[in-house]
A = this chain, B = another copy of it.
């Protein structure tokens, strides 16, 4: 069931670490700043809710969604009181779990809008912020616009004309305006220095293409 769940969430664009026990989970949680935690209350090595209570008491703030087969009202109330942000009873639908997960993340801040991604890059359309993994990457306005444009067509070539029209007015200016090339250059430099794992390829005579470097 964990495998199926992991696959379902990966397919929906999330990154997942899977722990088979509470001990293993603690190891993961110490190492990675996860956005949220799915807690199966049927784990073999101890009471999941007691564990959750302890973690909350010692300052754990990450959202926790409890998964369980025990569907009684009392169980649900207890789970929520013990610090769960949502309580989902098996069997559940992957779409609903995904939706509830997004709702919690949205509330927690960050995942407000749709986010575009490529390699380790994520772009939050709502706040117009770029992240490399967890850390925020600050770009100038123009650089952000360019990156968004490329991200929306990630893996596909974006004609140079389109970039010009989108970044600067559609006004067909003349002369030696190589602004696009300059910004592509600046963006490349930033993506590279930040180790994003994303890269911009040039398609001569046509335009540019954002893709995963690996």
Q: Could you list which residues of chain A lie within 8 angstroms of chain B, going by C-beta atoms?
A: 59, 61, 63, 73-74, 76-77, 80-81, 83-87, 93, 95-96, 98-100, 102-104, 106-110, 117, 127-129, 134, 136, 138, 140-141, 152-153, 155-157, 159, 201, 203-207, 209
Q: With A and B bound together, what is the CA distance between A127 and B153 in angstroms?
A: 12
A selection of 19 A-B contacts at a CB cut-off of 8 Å is A59-B117, A61-B117, A73-B93, A74-B95, A76-B99, A77-B98, A80-B100, A81-B99, A81-B102, A85-B103, A85-B107, A107-B107, A107-B108, A109-B152, A109-B153, A136-B209, A138-B203, A138-B204, A141-B205
Are A203 and B129 in touch, CB under 8 angstroms? yes
* Seed contacts A136-B201, A138-B201, A141-B205; 17 additional CB < 8 Å A-B pairs: A59-B117, A73-B95, A76-B99, A77-B95, A80-B100, A80-B103, A85-B103, A85-B106, A86-B86, A86-B100, A104-B107, A107-B108, A109-B153, A110-B156, A127-B156, A129-B157, A140-B204
Closest 9 CB pairs of A and B: A80-B99, A77-B99, A73-B93, A109-B153, A80-B103, A109-B156, A129-B157, A141-B205, A77-B95
Q: With A and B bound together, what is the CA distance between A100 and B108 in angstroms?
A: 15
Q: With A and B bound together, what is the CA distance between A205 and B144 in angstroms?
A: 11
Are A136 and B102 in touch, CB under 8 angstroms? no
Residue ID in chain B nearest A202 by CB atoms: B138
Q: With A and B bound together, what is the CA distance between A95 and B75 in angstroms?
A: 11
Q: With A and B bound together, what is the CA distance between A80 and B111 in angstroms?
A: 14
